[in-house]
Amino acid sequence: GAVVSQHPSRVICKSGTSVKIECRSLDFQATTMFWYRQFPKKSLMLMATSNEGSKATYEQGVEKDKFLINHASLTLSTLTVTSAHPEDSSFYICSAMTGGSNQPQHFGDGTRLSIL
């Protein structure tokens, strides 16, 4: 149980393109979803927290107009990198959780984004 599907797993596109990444909880309803960015050989950096039906809460330093997050349902959140540039190239990974202080976040497999 507790499977999170993230799609696509890899994207290569030209500078200026907008890229949408989907994160779905397959067998549970996620009250909260999270988007992280991970640089090579580094830890995960939280970008934003999203709750279904409300605006995402962005971490300090993360441009909300650059990284658009939509949490349309209890099983789907999307991250759109708008007008992507080479510096946006990174590994993006989502996670989802139900309620409960002892419940772990369940992670998707990540998306490797490369902007040429």
Partner 1 sequence: AQKITQTQPGMFVQEKEAVTLDCTYDTSDQSYGLFWYKQPSSGEMIFLIYQGSYDEQNATEGRYSLNFQKARKSANLVISASQLGDSAMYFCAMRVSSTGFQKLVFGTGTRLLVSP
- The minimum distance between CB 16 and partner 1, in angstroms, equals 26
CA nearest 25: which of 74, 79, 80, 93? 74
- Residues 97, 62: Cα–Cα separation, whole Å: 22
Q: Which is nearer to partner 1, 44 or 76 (CB)?
A: 44
Question: Which of helix, strand or coil describes residue 24?
Answer: strand
Are the C-beta atoms of residues 23 and 5 closer than 8 Å to each other?
yes
Closer to partner 1 at the Cβ: 81 or 108? Answer: 108
Contact 80, 67 (CB under 8 A): yes
Closer to partner 1 by CB, 61 or 100: give it. 100
Is 8 a binding residue for partner 1 by CB under 8 A? The answer is no
13 part of the interface to partner 1, by CB under 8 A: no
- How far apart CA 32 and CA 52 sit, in angstroms, is 7
Binding to partner 1 in span 28-87, by CB under 8 A: 32, 34, 42-44, 46, 49
CB nearer to partner 1: pick between 24 and 106: 106
Residues that bind partner 1 (CB under 8 A): 32, 34, 42-44, 46, 49, 91, 93, 95, 97, 100-102, 104-110, 112
